[in-house]
Amino acid sequence: MSAAHDDSALIDAFLDSLWLERGASDNTLSAYRHDLQAWQWQLAEYQASLLAPPGKALANWLERRRQEGYKLRSNARLLSSLRGFYQWALGEGRIDHDPLAEVRLPRVAPSLPDTLEEDEVERLLEAPDVKTGLGLRDRAMLEVLYGAGLRVTELVGLTTDALNLRQGVVRVRGKGDTERLVPLGEEAVDWLSRYLRSGRGALMQDVTRPALFPGRGDACLTRQAFWYRIKAHARSAGIERGLSPHTLRHAFATHLLNHGANLRVVQLLLGHSDLSTTQIYTHVAQVRLEALHAEHHPRG
């Protein structure tokens, strides 16, 4: 078997372990595969294998990427993928030392997520025409997205049996196939109730299908289709700033912290496995507080 085939088998074994042991998502596995295959192709220039990279190969590649315009954050993510692979190989006994142990990149400052002010959220929520079934669906989806802080993929994948409107909670299947119960809030419960009474049936040919928010063919609305709807509603609401698929999730977390919520509570609601992932929102809240202080304090 050639070295290239050996390396491809190694990549497959590593990705299998990520899936089996950590429940890594398809997107995560695809990103790791992309990075490792790119590294494999770089090593082919040296006629070297993944398990025995030449000492300067990675540093040379990272510098070349920098000159080609790749950002520091992109190189940091690539290095993180490679480190994960070599830590796995070390644990499996395939190598006796980590060849990247001495490779360092400058620290990457955390980027602050895009978010919306509270009045902008209100305008966005009120944008759909709730006299139509589509408008009721979109209003209910936006209310759930903001009221529960869901990821867009979690939202569009909801089924009717995930809801308990009497208790005001939704069961969410998140990253790594983990489940969490998230409170919805009164507004989201109210709009979901209205949608289920008057909107969902008008959008479906077979209401016994499980999709809570149907798209074509009574299947769950796709992430891309919902994102198109969000952008259309943002335009009609006069929101000019750029939005991302996670904008309302970011607003959910930031506004909770602005109003005094505990960081660990926000972590649980968002479904973050690591508190450090949630801490980025403290920076967003701090920026907002500083802006308010500068605007309203007599010595701001």
Nearest by Cα to 49 from 119, 112, 91, 2: 2
Catalytic residue among 137, 233, 246, 255: 246
Burial class (CB in 10 A: 0-12, 13-18, 19+), 206: exposed
Nearest by Cα to 118 from 252, 212, 265: 252
Residue 282 token pair: 């403290």
Catalytic residue among 175, 180, 194, 231: 175
Residue 69 token pair: 């315009």
**In sequence order, what are the beta bridge partners of 220?**
214
Catalytic residue among 137, 200, 233, 272: 272
151 is a catalytic site residue? yes
DSSP secondary structure code for residue 1 in this structure: -
Secondary structure, 3-state, 134-201: HHHHHHHHHHHHHHHCCCHHHHHCCEHHHEECCCCEEEEECHHHCEEEEECCHHHHHHHHHHHHHCHH
195 is a catalytic site residue? no
Where do the H-state alpha helices sit in the chain?
3-22, 26-44, 57-67, 72-91, 118-125, 133-148, 152-156, 186-198, 200-203, 223-236, 247-258, 263-270, 275-278, 280-296
Catalytic residue among 139, 233, 249, 255: 249
Catalytic residue among 32, 146, 195, 281: 281
d(CA 7, CA 195): 52
Catalytic residue among 137, 139, 151, 250: 151
d(CA 235, CA 112): 23
The gap from C-alpha 199 to its chain's centroid, in whole angstroms, comes to 28
249 is a catalytic site residue? yes
Residues with catalytic roles: 151, 175, 246, 249, 272, 281
